[in-house]
């Protein structure tokens, strides 16, 4: 299409602009100035439409902001959070589109087939180039540390491995299925056993009143800190840091914006200071030597590359966020989804009973059996994640190139553009998940496999858990990222969350404080996400030992 046709087709009232400008030039004095200003202003409002008309037609189409060029989409993203992409997507129906964000461009990917093509490892796309500045702001790294972290990120100094890649490889290796992960998971399950048995002591019929999110935060923070950071972890040495960590986490977006954070986000800023001081002490007093091998190796790598003990402490703050930031709200929602649906609760209690073996004093739940033989629990876990995971996968385009995906024309990605694969929109798309995409269907991730005839002559259907519902492409489930950037903690997360939830379901009744069935809170879906969505309010619940089982002791095993 020629540029003239594109300019004509652009949604710009050319005739109006022309008439105003012509009248301005033909009239004298103040009226002329007024009309000239008016002409400039109205034309300015159409600049994004003009940029859209002038862009290379092979690029993803630019969606002009209707009245606030350059700033409008930025304000929209801050105001509506991840929902903003859903609004634009619903009104344009493009599988991929471009938004002008200040002087940069953001490409938003809505279609899983295109996501598959974009998320592959490529020399023209980087993930770390995108998130390092964000990490600096979040943990307050100094510039010498950033120089060390950035060194040889893209292999510009040859094959010698820089800190970032060495550390990332070690963390992923430590969390891969195998003996290291088994040892970590075993300790974590032991921690849950101890903490939950003590939370409502056996024989205690009264129960404990607490916010459900607060309950999960408390147990997960303590268990993960002991398991991963060892007995002298900062929370064990300074118990008040439990609040500091979550105050820090609650204000991370403001810290990321980095506009006078000590004033605009003082609570989170002060909490970060307290956490950073304690983590510095953790390194300087060498408490990390009693931590898991993962942390011992991580600290050793940081120090070997010349990071100071003070900054090596700050580096642990971002890992703590990785460990807790998603696992805690995911566990909250899985518990809430089950306890708010009495029929589902009964079905999961019946199903998980297969994973319980009892000796005289204790009921033991095997997490391996949960994973292998409890498809409804697994399916509910995955359906929970589908409903709450709306964090975009981000990449920076480092070299102009074209992407090809079946069913789409080639799209040109220009160097300097930022890409966001919009997980929240993809997770809710009826075209991918079916017309009931908006519903919470605990059994969505299950299949019935027909089995051989039993002795009574009937053919039995056996249910199995599916990693993905039939006909859903893998790039459409993005709770753990996708392609070249996948969460290395996903196996650990699944073990700890399934174990914890199965233990709670079998050990406790969790009800509304008035005694009724727990009501699901709204999702806090209007924020720029850094993790899965949180509840808009933390529901107060009563956690009681189950009736007639107040004296039972419980244990989780791998």
- Nearest approach in angstroms of CB 483 to ligand HEM is 8
- Nearest approach in angstroms of CB 296 to ligand HEM is 15
- C-beta of 171 vs 374, nearer to ligand HEM: 171
Annotation-wise, does 374 bind a ligand?
A: no
Determine the residue with CB nearest ligand HEM: 489
- Nearest approach in angstroms of CB 332 to ligand HEM is 11
From candidates 171, 501, 518, 556, binder to ligand HEM by CB under 6 A: 171
Should residue 163 be labelled a site residue for ligand HEM when binding is judged by CB under 6 A? no
Token readout for 377 is 């629990």
Footprint on residues 430-469 left by ligand HEM (CB under 6 A): none
- C-beta of 175 vs 365, nearer to ligand HEM: 175
Should residue 479 be labelled a site residue for ligand HEM when binding is judged by CB under 6 A? yes
- C-beta of 369 vs 487, nearer to ligand HEM: 487
- Nearest approach in angstroms of CB 485 to ligand HEM is 4
Should residue 487 be labelled a site residue for ligand HEM when binding is judged by CB under 6 A? yes
Compute how many residues bind ligand HEM; rule: CB under 6 A.
Answer: 21
Should residue 330 be labelled a site residue for ligand HEM when binding is judged by CB under 6 A? yes
Should residue 173 be labelled a site residue for ligand HEM when binding is judged by CB under 6 A? no
Should residue 367 be labelled a site residue for ligand HEM when binding is judged by CB under 6 A? no
Token readout for 254 is 């403001």
By DSSP bridging, strand 508-512 and strand 540-545 are: antiparallel
- Nearest approach in angstroms of CB 130 to ligand HEM is 9
User: Which one of the spans 63-71, 455-463, 464-472, 474-482 is the region binding ligand HEM (CB under 6 A)?
Assistant: 474-482
β-pair partners for 210: 541
Should residue 532 be labelled a site residue for ligand HEM when binding is judged by CB under 6 A? yes
Should residue 335 be labelled a site residue for ligand HEM when binding is judged by CB under 6 A? no
β-pair partners for 107: 98, 419
User: Which one of the spans 64-72, 426-434, 446-454, 488-496 is the region binding ligand HEM (CB under 6 A)?
Assistant: 488-496
- Nearest approach in angstroms of CB 84 to ligand HEM is 18
- The maximal CA–CA distance of the chain, rounded, in angstroms, is 101
- DSSP secondary structure code for residue 353 in this structure: G
CA distance 88 to 109: 12
419, 118 in Cβ contact below 8 A? yes
- Nearest approach in angstroms of CB 500 to ligand HEM is 12
From candidates 199, 480, 508, 554, binder to ligand HEM by CB under 6 A: 480
- C-beta of 153 vs 356, nearer to ligand HEM: 153
- Nearest approach in angstroms of CB 548 to ligand HEM is 33
Should residue 492 be labelled a site residue for ligand HEM when binding is judged by CB under 6 A? yes
Strand residues in 78-173 grouped as ranges (E): 96-101, 104-109, 125-126
Footprint on residues 186-225 left by ligand HEM (CB under 6 A): none
Q: What Rg, from alpha-carbon coordinates, does the chain have?
A: 27
- Dihedral sign computed on CA atoms, order 447, 453, 454, 459: positive
Should residue 493 be labelled a site residue for ligand HEM when binding is judged by CB under 6 A? yes
Angle between helices 309-324 and 293-304 (to 10 degrees): 140
Closest Cα to residue 144, out of 279, 300, 280, 311?
Answer: 311
Footprint on residues 46-105 left by ligand HEM (CB under 6 A): none
Residue 122's Cβ-side half-sphere holds a number of Cα atoms within 13 Å equal to 18
Cβ neighbours for 98, distance < 8 A, ≥ 6 positions apart: 55, 59, 60, 61, 62, 63, 105, 106, 107, 108, 417
CA 404 to chain centre: 27
446, 465 in Cβ contact below 8 A? yes
Cβ neighbours for 169, distance < 8 A, ≥ 6 positions apart: none
Q: What is the dihedral of CA 332, 333, 337, 340, to 10 degrees?
A: 50
Long-range contacts of 296-304 (CB under 8 A, 24+ apart): 297/170, 297/174, 298/167, 298/170, 298/171, 301/163, 301/166, 301/167, 301/170, 302/163, 302/167
- C-beta of 196 vs 532, nearer to ligand HEM: 532
User: Which one of the spans 106-114, 139-147, 281-289, 479-487 is the region binding ligand HEM (CB under 6 A)?
Assistant: 479-487
- C-beta of 108 vs 200, nearer to ligand HEM: 108
- C-beta of 363 vs 398, nearer to ligand HEM: 398
- Nearest approach in angstroms of CB 167 to ligand HEM is 9
Should residue 535 be labelled a site residue for ligand HEM when binding is judged by CB under 6 A? no
Distances (CA, A) of 160 to 151, 154, 167, 170, 379: 10, 11, 14, 16, 43
Closest Cα to residue 419, out of 117, 128, 150, 98?
Answer: 98
User: Which one of the spans 41-49, 80-88, 97-105, 486-494 is the region binding ligand HEM (CB under 6 A)?
Assistant: 486-494
Should residue 489 be labelled a site residue for ligand HEM when binding is judged by CB under 6 A? yes
Should residue 476 be labelled a site residue for ligand HEM when binding is judged by CB under 6 A? no
Q: Indicate the length of the chain as a whole number.
A: 558
From candidates 317, 391, 422, 476, binder to ligand HEM by CB under 6 A: 391
Should residue 323 be labelled a site residue for ligand HEM when binding is judged by CB under 6 A? yes
Token readout for 140 is 């307050």
Q: Which residues bind ligand HEM (CB under 6 A)?
A: 168, 171, 175, 322-323, 326-327, 330, 389, 391, 393, 479-481, 485, 487-489, 492-493, 532
């Amino acid at each position: 299409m020629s540029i003239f046709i594109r300019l004509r087709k652009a949604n710009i009232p050319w005739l109006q602009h022309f008439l105003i400008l012509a009248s301005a030039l033909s009239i004298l004095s103040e009226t002329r100035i007024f009309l000239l200003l008016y002409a400039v202003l109205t034309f300015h409002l159409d600049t994004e439409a003009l940029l859209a008309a002038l862009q290379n037609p092979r690029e993803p189409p630019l969606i002009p902001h209707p009245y606030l060029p350059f700033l409008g989409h930025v304000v929209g993203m801050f105001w509506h959070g991840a929902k903003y992409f859903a609004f634009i997507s619903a009104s344009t129906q493009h599988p991929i589109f471009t938004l002008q964000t200040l002087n940069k461009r953001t490409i938003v990917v809505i279609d899983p087939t295109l996501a598959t093509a974009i998320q592959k490892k490529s020399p023209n796309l980087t993930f770390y180039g995108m998130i390092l500045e964000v990490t600096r702001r979040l943990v307050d790294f100094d510039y010498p540390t950033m120089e060390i972290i950035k060194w040889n990120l893209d292999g510009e100094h040859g094959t010698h491995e820089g800190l970032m890649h060495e550390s990332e490889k070690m963390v992923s290796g430590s969390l891969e299925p195998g003996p290291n992960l088994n040892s970590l998971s075993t300790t974590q399950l032991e921690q849950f056993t101890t903490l939950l048995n003590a939370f409502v002591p056996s024989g205690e019929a009264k129960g404990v009143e607490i916010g459900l999110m607060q309950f999960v935060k408390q147990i997960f923070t303590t268990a993960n800190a002991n398991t991963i950071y060892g007995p002298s972890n900062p929370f064990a040495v300074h118990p008040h840091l439990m609040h500091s960590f979550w105050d820090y986490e609650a204000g991370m977006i403001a810290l990321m914006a980095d506009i006078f954070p000590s004033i605009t986000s003082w609570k989170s800023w002060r909490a970060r200071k307290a956490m950073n001081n304690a983590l510095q002490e953790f390194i300087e007093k060498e408490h990390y030597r009693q931590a898991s091998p993962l942390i011992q190796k991580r600290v050793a790598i940081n120090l070997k590359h010349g990071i100071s003990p003070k900054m090596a402490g700050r580096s642990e703050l971002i890992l703590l966020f990785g460990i807790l930031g998603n696992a805690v709200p995911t566990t909250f929602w899985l518990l809430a989804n089950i306890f708010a649906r009495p029929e589902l609760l009964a079905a999961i209690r019946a199903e998980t009973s297969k994973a319980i073996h009892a000796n005289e004093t204790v009921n033991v739940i095997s997490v391996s059996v949960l994973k292998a033989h409890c498809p409804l629990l697994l399916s509910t876990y995955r359906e929970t994640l589908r409903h709450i995971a709306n964090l975009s996968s981000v990449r920076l385009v480092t070299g102009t190139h074209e992407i090809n995906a079946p069913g789409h024309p080639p799209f040109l990605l220009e160097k300097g553009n930022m890409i966001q694969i919009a997980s929240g929109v993809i997770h809710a798309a009826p075209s991918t998940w079916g017309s009931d995409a908006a519903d919470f269907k605990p059994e969505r991730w299950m299949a019935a496999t027909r089995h051989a005839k039993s002795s009574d002559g009937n053919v039995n259907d056996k249910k199995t858990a599916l990693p993905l519902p039939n006909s859903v492409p893998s790039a459409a489930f993005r709770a753990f990222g996708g392609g070249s950037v996948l969460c290395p903690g996903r196996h650990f997360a699944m073990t700890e969350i399934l174990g914890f939830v199965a233990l709670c379901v079998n050990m406790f009744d969790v009800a509304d404080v008035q005694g009724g069935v727990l009501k699901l809170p709204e999702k806090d879906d209007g924020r720029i996400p850094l993790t899965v969505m949180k509840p808009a309010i933390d529901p107060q619940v009563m956690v009681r030992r189950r009736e007639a089982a107040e004296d039972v002791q419980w244990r989780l095993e791998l």
